[in-house]
Amino acid sequence: MTESLSSDIRRFLERHHYTRVTPRAALIDMDGTLYDSMVNHTAAWHRMISEEGIPCTRDEFYLYEGRTGASTINLLFRRAFGRDATKEEIDRLYKRKTQYFVELPPVNVMPGAQRMVAELARMGITRVLVTGSGQSSLISRLDTDFPDMFPSDLRITSRDVTKGKPNPEPYIRAMQLARVSPSASIVIENAPLGCEAGDRAGAFTIGVTTGPIPAKELRDAGAAIVVDSMPALANMLPALILALMTTSIDG
């Protein structure tokens, strides 16, 4: 185990007043983590919101990643019009964003993600999908792209939560589904709001930089460690899980 990994784990244990992390379930984000889909999501959001006459930049949508669709629309409506969107506006606009997403070229599985998930399964760690997305076109591909890896009764989507990330609710609900405590959970995330949600839920949160957001932002948001690519995480998972199980501080 490297010195820096050991000190990152100790810092996490102290911050959460845990003596040890014993990983039994991995709570895994979808967009930008399992699928290389953020380029398409940001394009679809930018097109739809621009058409509404709301000034916005393509890159700002990377920062909203993890929010529910309604929450992102409300944030932009408040900025542009000083009010929340109505229920009708949210339904209509999110449907159009979803349509624009579907019209774009199909997204690819994130390189390294299948190997990363297979490593978790090999080590006997339960996988739970946790996404703020209601993008059914991607959710329905999971069984094909990750066969037997994400049981259908262990999935949290936008339909299951009232508060999206950065609220810890999606990850707390995932822990309840998998019947694990926070200190028996790890979270795998690519976005600042997702890392914040994972850490606030009490899980050892692994940030993976798969897009333009720098590692420091993931760390500042609450990631216990940050890994610079999904293949790198797949490579280091066995050593990381062992390090977690063998690092403890006296309560």
Binding site for Ca ion (CB under 5 A): 29, 31-32, 190-191
Q: Which residue, 126 or 190, is less far from Ca ion as judged by CB?
A: 190
Least distance between Ca ion and beta carbon 35 (Å): 9
Report how far apart the first and last C-alpha atoms of the chain are (Å, whole number).
22
| Alpha carbon distances (Å) from 118 to 44, 72, 123, 215, 229 | 31, 33, 9, 25, 16
Distance CA 13, CA 91 (A): 42
* Nearest residue to 221 via CA among 188, 187, 186, 197: 197
Q: Which residue, 190 or 209, is less far from Ca ion as judged by CB?
A: 190
* Nearest residue to 194 via CA among 11, 38, 46, 23: 38
Least distance between Ca ion and beta carbon 191 (Å): 4
SS3 239: helix
Least distance between Ca ion and beta carbon 33 (Å): 5
Q: Which residue, 119 or 189, is less far from Ca ion as judged by CB?
A: 189
DSSP 8-class letter at 208 = E
Distance CA 170, CA 151 (A): 17
Distance CA 74, CA 80 (A): 10
Q: Which residue, 185 or 209, is less far from Ca ion as judged by CB?
A: 209
Half-sphere exposure of 235 (CA within 13 A, CB side): 8
Least distance between Ca ion and beta carbon 34 (Å): 9
Q: Which residue, 133 or 183, is less far from Ca ion as judged by CB?
A: 133
Q: Which residue, 12 or 35, is less far from Ca ion as judged by CB?
A: 35
DSSP 8-class letter at 247 = -
Least distance between Ca ion and beta carbon 37 (Å): 8
Least distance between Ca ion and beta carbon 1 (Å): 28
C-beta nearest to Ca ion: residue: 32
